[in-house]
Amino acid sequence: MSFGERIKGLRLHQELLQADVAQKLGITQSQYSKLERDALEPNLDMIRHLTKLFCVSSDYLLEIDNPVDYEPTFDLHDFLRKGKLTLDGRFLTESDCTAIHDMVRILLKERNK
């Protein structure tokens, strides 16, 4: 899997648009699109920003570490905080996300007894 394919997959996994990622990186959507198509090589600073944004290692992005079963992990609290979640086509409110967070904490507490 190429660098571009990896960042595209990570972007889609986080349900972000190219424009969203480009804005976070401080580049144009066109530049970001070129990264995903492997038409532009990222510089070191860009790689650093992408690793932080997608919560993955630079080794993963650069195809140095390529375990077959590797999937990026995301903290549920951070994921719920983003507020762009849907369930059955309906957007979850901030209150919904807080309730889900609280229920998962209770579940984990019960599991650890």
Tell me the backbone φ, ψ of residue 45, rounded to 5 degrees: -65, -40
Sorted by where each begins, the domain ranges of the chain are 3-62, 76-111
The set of residues, in sequence order, having a beta carbon less than 8 Å from that of 4 and lying 6+ positions away, is 35, 36, 37, 38
From residue 1, how far is each of 19, 48, 99 by CA, in Å? Answer: 23, 19, 38
Q: Which CATH number fits domain 3-62: 1.10.260.40, 3.40.50.740, 1.10.3210.10, 2.40.180.10?
A: 1.10.260.40
Tell me the backbone φ, ψ of residue 91, rounded to 5 degrees: -70, 140
Q: Report the predicted TM-score, pTM, of the whole model to 2 decimal places.
A: 0.58
Tens of pLDDT along the chain (113 residues) come to 788 988 998 998 888 999 999 999 999 999 999 999 999 999 999 999 999 998 888 888 888 765 544 555 667 777 777 667 777 778 888 888 888 888 998 988 888 87
